[in-house]
A and B are shown apart, each in its own frame.
Chain A
Amino acid sequence: MGVRSVLVVVALLGAIHSAPAAEQAITLASTTSVEATGLLANILPQFTAKTGIAVNVVAQGTGKALDTARRGDADVVLVHDPAAEREFMDEGYGTTRRQLAWNDFIIVGPSSDPARVGGGHDVVVALKAIALARSPFVSRGDKSGTNAAERRLWRDAGWTPEALNPEKWYRDIGGGMGQALNAASAMNAYTLSDRGTWLSFNNKGPLVVAIEGDAKLLNRYDVIELNPKKHGPARLAEAKVFADWLVSPEGQQAIGAYQVNGEKLFNASAASPK
Protein backbone atom coordinates (compact mmCIF):
# COMPACT_ATOMS: atom_id res chain seq x y z
CA MET A 1 0.00 0.00 0.00
CA GLY A 2 2.89 2.30 0.85
CA VAL A 3 4.57 1.86 -2.53
CA ARG A 4 1.32 2.30 -4.39
CA SER A 5 0.41 5.54 -2.64
CA VAL A 6 3.87 6.92 -3.32
CA LEU A 7 3.43 6.07 -7.00
CA VAL A 8 0.05 7.79 -7.05
CA VAL A 9 1.60 10.90 -5.53
CA VAL A 10 4.44 10.90 -8.01
CA ALA A 11 2.02 10.46 -10.91
CA LEU A 12 -0.21 13.30 -9.68
CA LEU A 13 2.76 15.57 -9.12
CA GLY A 14 3.95 14.79 -12.60
CA ALA A 15 0.53 15.57 -14.03
CA ILE A 16 0.33 18.88 -12.20
CA HIS A 17 3.81 19.84 -13.18
CA SER A 18 3.63 18.99 -16.85
CA ALA A 19 0.08 20.07 -17.64
CA PRO A 20 0.39 23.86 -17.69
CA ALA A 21 4.02 24.28 -18.64
CA ALA A 22 4.16 25.69 -22.14
CA GLU A 23 7.52 25.57 -23.92
CA GLN A 24 7.99 29.26 -23.28
CA ALA A 25 6.12 31.13 -20.58
CA ILE A 26 6.78 34.53 -19.10
CA THR A 27 5.38 36.01 -15.93
CA LEU A 28 3.69 39.38 -16.25
CA ALA A 29 3.22 41.33 -13.03
CA SER A 30 0.28 43.58 -13.64
CA THR A 31 -2.44 45.56 -11.98
CA THR A 32 -5.87 44.39 -10.95
CA SER A 33 -7.45 46.89 -13.34
CA VAL A 34 -6.16 45.28 -16.54
CA GLU A 35 -6.92 41.78 -15.25
CA ALA A 36 -10.35 42.40 -13.71
CA THR A 37 -11.55 44.21 -16.84
CA GLY A 38 -10.86 41.11 -18.89
CA LEU A 39 -8.46 42.99 -21.20
CA LEU A 40 -5.54 40.59 -20.75
CA ALA A 41 -7.69 37.49 -21.03
CA ASN A 42 -8.91 38.96 -24.32
CA ILE A 43 -5.63 39.98 -25.94
CA LEU A 44 -3.14 37.44 -24.60
CA PRO A 45 -4.44 34.49 -26.65
CA GLN A 46 -3.75 36.55 -29.80
CA PHE A 47 -0.18 37.11 -28.68
CA THR A 48 0.36 33.49 -27.68
CA ALA A 49 -1.12 32.21 -30.94
CA LYS A 50 1.28 34.38 -32.92
CA THR A 51 4.49 33.83 -30.95
CA GLY A 52 4.05 30.61 -28.99
CA ILE A 53 4.92 32.50 -25.81
CA ALA A 54 2.47 31.96 -22.97
CA VAL A 55 1.97 34.85 -20.57
CA ASN A 56 1.21 34.08 -16.93
CA VAL A 57 -0.50 37.07 -15.38
CA VAL A 58 -0.09 37.81 -11.69
CA ALA A 59 -2.54 40.62 -11.00
CA GLN A 60 -1.56 42.83 -8.09
CA GLY A 61 -1.71 46.52 -7.33
CA THR A 62 0.97 48.59 -9.07
CA GLY A 63 3.03 48.88 -5.86
CA LYS A 64 3.08 45.13 -5.32
CA ALA A 65 3.62 44.39 -9.01
CA LEU A 66 6.74 46.57 -9.09
CA ASP A 67 7.90 44.92 -5.89
CA THR A 68 7.39 41.48 -7.41
CA ALA A 69 9.62 42.56 -10.30
CA ARG A 70 12.22 43.96 -7.88
CA ARG A 71 12.42 40.53 -6.22
CA GLY A 72 13.01 38.94 -9.61
CA ASP A 73 9.69 37.10 -9.68
CA ALA A 74 8.36 38.66 -12.88
CA ASP A 75 9.74 39.01 -16.41
CA VAL A 76 7.83 42.12 -17.47
CA VAL A 77 5.57 44.69 -15.80
CA LEU A 78 2.37 46.43 -16.89
CA VAL A 79 1.35 49.13 -14.41
CA HIS A 80 -0.20 52.59 -14.04
CA ASP A 81 1.47 54.79 -11.46
CA PRO A 82 3.88 57.25 -13.13
CA ALA A 83 5.52 58.31 -9.84
CA ALA A 84 6.18 54.76 -8.64
CA GLU A 85 7.34 53.77 -12.13
CA ARG A 86 9.86 56.62 -12.24
CA GLU A 87 11.24 55.48 -8.89
CA PHE A 88 11.49 51.92 -10.23
CA MET A 89 13.37 53.17 -13.31
CA ASP A 90 15.63 55.42 -11.21
CA GLU A 91 16.58 52.44 -9.04
CA GLY A 92 17.79 50.74 -12.19
CA TYR A 93 15.32 47.86 -12.27
CA GLY A 94 13.81 48.78 -15.63
CA THR A 95 15.39 49.53 -19.00
CA THR A 96 12.54 50.61 -21.25
CA ARG A 97 9.22 52.11 -20.21
CA ARG A 98 6.59 52.61 -22.90
CA GLN A 99 3.02 53.78 -22.68
CA LEU A 100 0.54 51.48 -24.33
CA ALA A 101 -2.88 52.78 -23.39
CA TRP A 102 -4.79 55.28 -21.35
CA ASN A 103 -8.24 55.76 -19.99
CA ASP A 104 -9.42 57.88 -17.11
CA PHE A 105 -10.25 57.73 -13.46
CA ILE A 106 -13.73 58.69 -12.32
CA ILE A 107 -15.30 59.40 -8.96
CA VAL A 108 -18.32 57.20 -8.44
CA GLY A 109 -20.80 57.64 -5.64
CA PRO A 110 -24.36 56.89 -4.54
CA SER A 111 -27.10 58.25 -6.78
CA SER A 112 -28.52 60.04 -3.72
CA ASP A 113 -25.33 62.17 -3.91
CA PRO A 114 -25.11 63.37 -0.29
CA ALA A 115 -22.16 65.68 -1.05
CA ARG A 116 -23.93 67.20 -4.08
CA VAL A 117 -21.01 66.77 -6.43
CA GLY A 118 -22.73 64.83 -9.23
CA GLY A 119 -22.17 65.98 -12.79
CA GLY A 120 -19.09 68.00 -11.89
CA HIS A 121 -15.86 68.09 -13.88
CA ASP A 122 -13.47 69.41 -11.22
CA VAL A 123 -12.19 66.58 -9.07
CA VAL A 124 -10.50 68.80 -6.46
CA VAL A 125 -13.68 70.82 -5.86
CA ALA A 126 -15.60 67.56 -5.55
CA LEU A 127 -13.21 66.03 -3.00
CA LYS A 128 -13.40 69.21 -0.92
CA ALA A 129 -17.20 68.98 -0.98
CA ILE A 130 -17.12 65.29 0.02
CA ALA A 131 -14.83 66.13 2.96
CA LEU A 132 -16.98 69.09 3.98
CA ALA A 133 -20.13 66.96 3.92
CA ARG A 134 -18.22 64.17 5.71
CA SER A 135 -19.70 61.73 3.19
CA PRO A 136 -18.22 58.23 3.32
CA PHE A 137 -15.28 57.81 0.92
CA VAL A 138 -13.67 54.43 0.25
CA SER A 139 -9.93 54.35 -0.29
CA ARG A 140 -8.12 51.35 -1.78
CA GLY A 141 -5.30 51.78 0.73
CA ASP A 142 -3.21 49.15 -1.07
CA LYS A 143 -0.45 51.22 -2.71
CA SER A 144 -1.94 50.50 -6.11
CA GLY A 145 -1.77 52.97 -8.98
CA THR A 146 -5.35 54.04 -8.30
CA ASN A 147 -4.59 54.45 -4.60
CA ALA A 148 -1.58 56.62 -5.44
CA ALA A 149 -3.68 58.74 -7.81
CA GLU A 150 -6.34 59.13 -5.12
CA ARG A 151 -3.81 60.24 -2.50
CA ARG A 152 -2.38 62.74 -4.99
CA LEU A 153 -5.83 64.19 -5.71
CA TRP A 154 -6.62 64.49 -1.99
CA ARG A 155 -3.33 66.32 -1.52
CA ASP A 156 -4.39 68.75 -4.24
CA ALA A 157 -7.60 69.23 -2.27
CA GLY A 158 -5.58 70.11 0.83
CA TRP A 159 -5.76 66.76 2.61
CA THR A 160 -2.59 64.87 3.53
CA PRO A 161 -2.75 61.12 4.34
CA GLU A 162 -2.06 62.01 7.98
CA ALA A 163 -5.11 64.27 8.02
CA LEU A 164 -7.31 61.75 6.21
CA ASN A 165 -6.49 58.58 8.14
CA PRO A 166 -8.14 59.57 11.45
CA GLU A 167 -11.35 60.70 9.72
CA LYS A 168 -14.21 58.24 10.21
CA TRP A 169 -15.78 59.04 6.84
CA TYR A 170 -12.50 58.15 5.07
CA ARG A 171 -12.51 54.35 4.91
CA ASP A 172 -9.29 52.65 3.97
CA ILE A 173 -10.25 49.09 2.99
CA GLY A 174 -6.82 47.80 1.88
CA GLY A 175 -8.17 45.94 -1.15
CA GLY A 176 -8.40 45.78 -4.91
CA MET A 177 -10.59 47.97 -7.11
CA GLY A 178 -13.45 45.50 -7.16
CA GLN A 179 -13.42 45.19 -3.39
CA ALA A 180 -13.46 48.98 -3.11
CA LEU A 181 -16.44 49.18 -5.46
CA ASN A 182 -18.23 46.41 -3.55
CA ALA A 183 -17.57 48.31 -0.31
CA ALA A 184 -18.67 51.67 -1.74
CA SER A 185 -21.79 50.07 -3.13
CA ALA A 186 -22.59 48.53 0.26
CA MET A 187 -22.01 51.68 2.32
CA ASN A 188 -23.25 54.37 -0.06
CA ALA A 189 -19.79 55.81 -0.32
CA TYR A 190 -17.82 57.68 -2.95
CA THR A 191 -14.64 56.18 -4.37
CA LEU A 192 -12.08 56.75 -7.11
CA SER A 193 -12.15 54.06 -9.79
CA ASP A 194 -10.43 53.47 -13.09
CA ARG A 195 -13.03 53.56 -15.82
CA GLY A 196 -12.21 50.09 -17.11
CA THR A 197 -12.95 48.28 -13.86
CA TRP A 198 -16.06 50.41 -13.35
CA LEU A 199 -17.48 49.56 -16.78
CA SER A 200 -16.88 45.85 -16.37
CA PHE A 201 -18.02 45.75 -12.73
CA ASN A 202 -21.30 43.90 -12.14
CA ASN A 203 -22.37 44.88 -8.64
CA LYS A 204 -22.81 48.64 -9.00
CA GLY A 205 -25.88 48.82 -6.77
CA PRO A 206 -26.67 52.48 -6.06
CA LEU A 207 -23.39 53.75 -7.53
CA VAL A 208 -23.27 56.13 -10.49
CA VAL A 209 -20.50 58.22 -12.05
CA ALA A 210 -20.28 61.49 -10.13
CA ILE A 211 -17.19 63.21 -11.53
CA GLU A 212 -15.46 62.70 -14.86
CA GLY A 213 -13.59 64.65 -17.49
CA ASP A 214 -10.96 66.44 -15.37
CA ALA A 215 -7.47 66.47 -16.91
CA LYS A 216 -6.16 65.41 -13.50
CA LEU A 217 -8.02 62.12 -13.89
CA LEU A 218 -5.82 60.78 -16.68
CA ASN A 219 -4.86 57.14 -16.14
CA ARG A 220 -1.99 55.85 -18.24
CA TYR A 221 -0.70 52.31 -18.52
CA ASP A 222 2.95 51.57 -19.20
CA VAL A 223 4.84 48.41 -20.01
CA ILE A 224 8.29 48.18 -18.45
CA GLU A 225 11.07 45.88 -19.57
CA LEU A 226 13.50 44.78 -16.89
CA ASN A 227 17.20 45.33 -16.55
CA PRO A 228 19.12 42.11 -17.34
CA LYS A 229 21.81 43.12 -14.84
CA LYS A 230 19.28 42.83 -12.03
CA HIS A 231 17.19 39.98 -13.39
CA GLY A 232 19.44 37.01 -14.09
CA PRO A 233 16.95 34.19 -14.51
CA ALA A 234 14.13 36.28 -15.97
CA ARG A 235 13.13 35.46 -19.52
CA LEU A 236 13.86 38.88 -20.85
CA ALA A 237 14.10 38.01 -24.55
CA GLU A 238 10.54 36.66 -24.58
CA ALA A 239 9.47 39.55 -22.37
CA LYS A 240 10.79 41.96 -24.97
CA VAL A 241 8.84 40.19 -27.70
CA PHE A 242 5.74 40.70 -25.56
CA ALA A 243 6.42 44.37 -24.78
CA ASP A 244 7.14 45.05 -28.47
CA TRP A 245 3.91 43.34 -29.44
CA LEU A 246 1.86 45.42 -26.99
CA VAL A 247 3.01 48.66 -28.63
CA SER A 248 2.98 47.25 -32.17
CA PRO A 249 0.07 48.15 -34.50
CA GLU A 250 -1.32 44.65 -33.99
CA GLY A 251 -1.19 44.80 -30.17
CA GLN A 252 -2.51 48.34 -30.14
CA GLN A 253 -5.38 47.32 -32.38
CA ALA A 254 -6.23 44.45 -29.99
CA ILE A 255 -6.20 46.78 -26.97
CA GLY A 256 -8.28 49.46 -28.66
CA ALA A 257 -10.81 46.97 -29.96
CA TYR A 258 -11.60 45.52 -26.54
CA GLN A 259 -15.10 46.39 -25.41
CA VAL A 260 -17.38 45.51 -22.51
CA ASN A 261 -21.11 46.03 -22.99
CA GLY A 262 -20.41 47.99 -26.14
CA GLU A 263 -18.06 50.43 -24.41
CA LYS A 264 -14.41 50.85 -25.21
CA LEU A 265 -12.28 50.43 -22.05
CA PHE A 266 -8.78 51.44 -23.16
CA ASN A 267 -7.48 53.94 -25.70
CA ALA A 268 -4.37 52.58 -27.39
CA SER A 269 -1.72 55.28 -27.23
CA ALA A 270 1.71 53.86 -28.01
CA ALA A 271 2.00 56.05 -31.11
CA SER A 272 0.99 59.25 -29.32
CA PRO A 273 1.59 58.90 -25.57
CA LYS A 274 -0.48 61.14 -23.33
Chain B
Amino acid sequence: MDDFLQIVGLSIGVSLVATAIATAIGLPLGATLAISDFRGRRAIVVLINAFFGLPPVVVGLVLYLALSRSGPLGFLGLLFTPAAMVVAQVVLAIPIITALVHRAGERAWARYGDELVSDGASKVQAIPHILAIIRADLLTATLAGFGRTISEVGAVILVGGNIRGLTRTMTTTIALQTSQGDLSLALALGTVLVGISISISATVFALAGRASSAGSEEI
Protein backbone atom coordinates (compact mmCIF):
# COMPACT_ATOMS: atom_id res chain seq x y z
CA MET B 1 0.00 0.00 0.00
CA ASP B 2 2.88 2.36 0.80
CA ASP B 3 4.32 1.36 -2.53
CA PHE B 4 1.04 2.04 -4.22
CA LEU B 5 0.61 5.54 -2.79
CA GLN B 6 4.21 6.38 -3.54
CA ILE B 7 3.78 5.21 -7.15
CA VAL B 8 0.57 7.18 -7.65
CA GLY B 9 2.12 10.24 -6.00
CA LEU B 10 5.22 10.07 -8.16
CA SER B 11 3.17 9.65 -11.35
CA ILE B 12 1.01 12.65 -10.58
CA GLY B 13 3.91 14.75 -9.28
CA VAL B 14 6.15 14.13 -12.27
CA SER B 15 3.32 14.74 -14.74
CA LEU B 16 2.17 17.93 -13.00
CA VAL B 17 5.67 19.39 -12.97
CA ALA B 18 6.24 18.37 -16.58
CA THR B 19 2.89 19.83 -17.65
CA ALA B 20 3.58 23.08 -15.77
CA ILE B 21 6.95 23.51 -17.44
CA ALA B 22 5.62 22.54 -20.86
CA THR B 23 2.74 24.99 -20.41
CA ALA B 24 5.08 27.78 -19.36
CA ILE B 25 6.96 27.24 -22.62
CA GLY B 26 4.10 26.22 -24.89
CA LEU B 27 1.64 29.02 -24.10
CA PRO B 28 3.84 31.97 -25.06
CA LEU B 29 5.35 30.03 -27.94
CA GLY B 30 1.95 29.07 -29.36
CA ALA B 31 0.59 32.59 -28.92
CA THR B 32 3.65 34.17 -30.53
CA LEU B 33 3.38 31.84 -33.49
CA ALA B 34 -0.30 32.71 -33.81
CA ILE B 35 0.06 36.47 -34.01
CA SER B 36 3.46 37.12 -35.51
CA ASP B 37 4.73 36.71 -39.00
CA PHE B 38 8.40 36.03 -39.58
CA ARG B 39 10.50 33.97 -41.92
CA GLY B 40 10.45 30.32 -40.97
CA ARG B 41 7.24 30.62 -38.96
CA ARG B 42 5.41 28.18 -41.20
CA ALA B 43 8.25 25.69 -40.94
CA ILE B 44 8.12 25.86 -37.15
CA VAL B 45 4.34 25.39 -37.17
CA VAL B 46 4.60 22.36 -39.45
CA LEU B 47 7.36 20.92 -37.29
CA ILE B 48 5.42 21.40 -34.06
CA ASN B 49 2.34 19.78 -35.53
CA ALA B 50 4.46 16.91 -36.73
CA PHE B 51 5.95 16.52 -33.23
CA PHE B 52 2.41 16.17 -31.93
CA GLY B 53 2.87 12.52 -32.74
CA LEU B 54 6.45 12.24 -31.54
CA PRO B 55 7.01 8.58 -30.62
CA PRO B 56 7.77 8.53 -26.87
CA VAL B 57 10.21 5.68 -27.26
CA VAL B 58 12.30 7.77 -29.66
CA VAL B 59 12.30 10.70 -27.23
CA GLY B 60 13.26 8.25 -24.49
CA LEU B 61 16.10 6.80 -26.52
CA VAL B 62 17.56 10.16 -27.54
CA LEU B 63 17.37 11.44 -23.96
CA TYR B 64 18.82 8.18 -22.67
CA LEU B 65 21.85 8.60 -24.89
CA ALA B 66 22.15 12.30 -24.02
CA LEU B 67 21.78 11.83 -20.25
CA SER B 68 23.95 8.72 -20.03
CA ARG B 69 27.24 9.22 -18.18
CA SER B 70 29.00 8.79 -21.50
CA GLY B 71 26.61 11.20 -23.24
CA PRO B 72 26.89 14.98 -23.63
CA LEU B 73 24.67 15.73 -20.60
CA GLY B 74 26.00 12.88 -18.48
CA PHE B 75 27.66 15.27 -16.02
CA LEU B 76 24.20 16.26 -14.79
CA GLY B 77 23.72 12.77 -13.35
CA LEU B 78 20.06 12.77 -14.31
CA LEU B 79 19.63 9.34 -15.88
CA PHE B 80 17.42 7.00 -13.82
CA THR B 81 16.01 9.88 -11.73
CA PRO B 82 12.54 11.46 -11.63
CA ALA B 83 14.06 14.61 -13.12
CA ALA B 84 14.94 12.68 -16.28
CA MET B 85 11.32 11.59 -16.55
CA VAL B 86 10.19 15.20 -16.19
CA VAL B 87 12.54 16.21 -19.02
CA ALA B 88 11.17 13.47 -21.29
CA GLN B 89 7.59 14.40 -20.55
CA VAL B 90 8.25 18.10 -21.09
CA VAL B 91 9.64 17.30 -24.53
CA LEU B 92 6.56 15.22 -25.32
CA ALA B 93 4.03 17.74 -24.00
CA ILE B 94 5.45 20.98 -25.49
CA PRO B 95 4.41 20.25 -29.12
CA ILE B 96 0.89 19.30 -28.05
CA ILE B 97 0.35 22.40 -25.93
CA THR B 98 2.04 24.73 -28.42
CA ALA B 99 0.09 23.38 -31.40
CA LEU B 100 -3.27 23.61 -29.66
CA VAL B 101 -2.58 27.14 -28.38
CA HIS B 102 -1.36 28.18 -31.81
CA ARG B 103 -4.51 26.91 -33.52
CA ALA B 104 -6.87 28.65 -31.10
CA GLY B 105 -4.71 31.77 -31.02
CA GLU B 106 -4.68 32.03 -34.79
CA ARG B 107 -8.47 31.98 -34.92
CA ALA B 108 -8.75 34.58 -32.17
CA TRP B 109 -6.14 36.78 -33.82
CA ALA B 110 -7.96 36.67 -37.16
CA ARG B 111 -11.09 37.86 -35.41
CA TYR B 112 -9.81 40.35 -32.83
CA GLY B 113 -6.30 41.18 -34.04
CA ASP B 114 -7.10 44.35 -35.95
CA GLU B 115 -9.21 45.61 -33.11
CA LEU B 116 -6.45 45.04 -30.56
CA VAL B 117 -3.79 46.67 -32.74
CA SER B 118 -6.01 49.64 -33.56
CA ASP B 119 -6.53 50.12 -29.81
CA GLY B 120 -2.84 50.88 -29.80
CA ALA B 121 -1.49 47.62 -28.43
CA SER B 122 1.75 46.29 -29.83
CA LYS B 123 1.82 42.66 -30.82
CA VAL B 124 3.66 41.73 -27.65
CA GLN B 125 1.10 43.58 -25.57
CA ALA B 126 -1.65 41.80 -27.48
CA ILE B 127 -0.46 38.35 -26.39
CA PRO B 128 -2.06 38.44 -22.91
CA HIS B 129 -5.33 39.63 -24.46
CA ILE B 130 -5.34 36.82 -26.97
CA LEU B 131 -4.53 34.30 -24.24
CA ALA B 132 -7.42 35.67 -22.17
CA ILE B 133 -9.79 35.32 -25.11
CA ILE B 134 -8.81 31.70 -25.73
CA ARG B 135 -8.49 30.68 -22.09
CA ALA B 136 -10.92 27.79 -22.50
CA ASP B 137 -8.64 26.42 -25.22
CA LEU B 138 -5.62 26.92 -22.97
CA LEU B 139 -7.25 24.59 -20.51
CA THR B 140 -7.82 21.99 -23.18
CA ALA B 141 -4.22 22.35 -24.29
CA THR B 142 -2.88 21.98 -20.75
CA LEU B 143 -5.09 18.98 -20.07
CA ALA B 144 -4.02 17.37 -23.34
CA GLY B 145 -0.42 17.87 -22.24
CA PHE B 146 -1.16 16.37 -18.86
CA GLY B 147 -2.95 13.45 -20.48
CA ARG B 148 0.05 12.77 -22.65
CA THR B 149 2.47 12.85 -19.71
CA ILE B 150 0.54 10.78 -17.18
CA SER B 151 -0.32 8.02 -19.66
CA GLU B 152 3.11 7.73 -21.23
CA VAL B 153 5.28 4.66 -20.64
CA GLY B 154 7.81 4.30 -23.47
CA ALA B 155 10.00 7.27 -22.60
CA VAL B 156 9.80 7.18 -18.79
CA ILE B 157 10.74 3.50 -18.61
CA LEU B 158 13.87 4.18 -20.66
CA VAL B 159 15.13 7.29 -18.87
CA GLY B 160 13.66 6.47 -15.45
CA GLY B 161 14.62 2.79 -15.39
CA ASN B 162 11.45 1.73 -13.54
CA ILE B 163 13.35 1.69 -10.23
CA ARG B 164 11.21 0.59 -7.32
CA GLY B 165 10.63 3.42 -4.88
CA LEU B 166 12.40 5.96 -7.07
CA THR B 167 11.19 6.07 -10.67
CA ARG B 168 8.39 3.52 -10.78
CA THR B 169 5.22 5.16 -12.08
CA MET B 170 1.74 3.79 -12.62
CA THR B 171 2.37 3.03 -16.27
CA THR B 172 5.72 1.31 -15.71
CA THR B 173 4.20 -0.68 -12.84
CA ILE B 174 1.44 -1.85 -15.17
CA ALA B 175 4.08 -2.94 -17.68
CA LEU B 176 6.00 -4.75 -14.93
CA GLN B 177 2.96 -6.50 -13.48
CA THR B 178 1.89 -7.60 -16.93
CA SER B 179 5.34 -9.09 -17.42
CA GLN B 180 4.96 -10.95 -14.13
CA GLY B 181 1.67 -12.38 -15.33
CA ASP B 182 -0.26 -10.44 -12.68
CA LEU B 183 -2.83 -9.34 -15.22
CA SER B 184 -5.60 -8.62 -12.73
CA LEU B 185 -3.32 -6.40 -10.63
CA ALA B 186 -2.14 -4.63 -13.77
CA LEU B 187 -5.73 -4.05 -14.82
CA ALA B 188 -6.65 -2.75 -11.37
CA LEU B 189 -3.86 -0.22 -11.51
CA GLY B 190 -4.92 0.67 -15.05
CA THR B 191 -8.38 1.43 -13.72
CA VAL B 192 -6.90 3.70 -11.06
CA LEU B 193 -4.88 5.49 -13.74
CA VAL B 194 -7.99 6.10 -15.82
CA GLY B 195 -9.91 7.18 -12.71
CA ILE B 196 -7.25 9.71 -11.76
CA SER B 197 -7.16 11.13 -15.28
CA ILE B 198 -10.93 11.52 -15.29
CA SER B 199 -11.06 13.16 -11.86
CA ILE B 200 -8.35 15.64 -12.72
CA SER B 201 -10.08 16.58 -15.97
CA ALA B 202 -13.41 16.89 -14.21
CA THR B 203 -11.94 19.06 -11.45
CA VAL B 204 -10.21 21.37 -13.87
CA PHE B 205 -13.32 21.72 -15.98
CA ALA B 206 -15.43 22.46 -12.93
CA LEU B 207 -12.99 25.17 -11.85
CA ALA B 208 -12.81 26.52 -15.39
CA GLY B 209 -16.58 26.65 -15.67
CA ARG B 210 -16.69 28.84 -12.57
CA ALA B 211 -13.83 31.01 -13.80
CA SER B 212 -15.25 31.62 -17.25
CA SER B 213 -18.71 32.48 -15.98
CA ALA B 214 -17.12 34.93 -13.54
CA GLY B 215 -15.07 36.66 -16.21
CA SER B 216 -17.41 36.34 -19.16
CA GLU B 217 -18.03 40.07 -19.52
CA GLU B 218 -14.46 40.49 -20.76
CA ILE B 219 -15.18 38.73 -24.04
- B-binding residues in A (CB < 8 A): 5-6, 8-9, 12-13, 15-17, 20, 27, 32, 36, 41, 56-59, 71-73, 175-179, 181-182, 200-204, 233
B19 (CB) vs chain A CBs: closest residue: A9
Contact A71 B20, beta carbon cutoff 8 Å: no
Is B179's CB under 8 angstroms from A36's CB? yes
CB distance from B203 to the nearest CB of A (A): 16
> Once the chains bind, are B166 and A9 in contact (CB under 8 Å)?
no
Which of A71, A179, A200, A201 is the most central at the interface, judged by chain B CB atoms within 10 Å of its CB? A71
**Chain B residues closer than 8 Å to A8, beta-carbon distance:** 20
Residues of chain B from 164 to 206 with CB closer than 8 A to chain A in the complex? 164-166, 176, 178-183
Complex partner residue of A201 from B16, B82, B176, B180, CB under 8 angstroms: B180
Known contacts: A17-B82, A71-B68, A71-B69. The answer to whether A204 contacts B181 by CB under 8 A is: yes
In whole Å, how far is A238's beta carbon from the nearest beta carbon of chain B? Answer: 15
Instruction: Give, as a whole number of angstroms, the nearest-CB distance from A7 to chain B.
Output: 11
Q: How far is the CB of A26 from chain B (nearest CB, A)?
A: 11
The 10 closest A-B pairs by CB, nearest first: A178-B179, A203-B181, A72-B69, A58-B161, A202-B181, A201-B181, A56-B163, A20-B166, A71-B70, A71-B68
Give Cα distance in the complex from A20 to B10, angstroms. Answer: 10
What are 25 pairs between A and B in contact, CB < 8 Å?
A5-B20, A5-B24, A6-B24, A9-B21, A12-B13, A12-B20, A15-B13, A16-B82, A16-B83, A17-B81, A17-B82, A27-B161, A36-B179, A56-B163, A56-B166, A57-B163, A72-B70, A73-B68, A73-B69, A73-B79, A73-B80, A179-B178, A200-B180, A202-B182, A233-B69
Q: Given the complex of chains A and B, what is the CA–CA distance between A96 and B149 in angstroms?
A: 41
Q: Taking each of B80, B163, B176, B179, which has the highest tally of chain A beta carbons within 10 Å of its own beta carbon?
A: B179
Q: Are A13 and B161 in contact (CB under 8 A)?
A: no
Please name all residues of chain A whose beta carbon is closer than 8 Å to the beta carbon of B82 when the two chains form the complex. Answer: 16-17, 20
Q: Which residues of B contact A182 (CB under 8 A)?
A: 178-179, 181
CB contact between B24 and one of A9, A179, A233 (< 8 Å): that residue:
A9
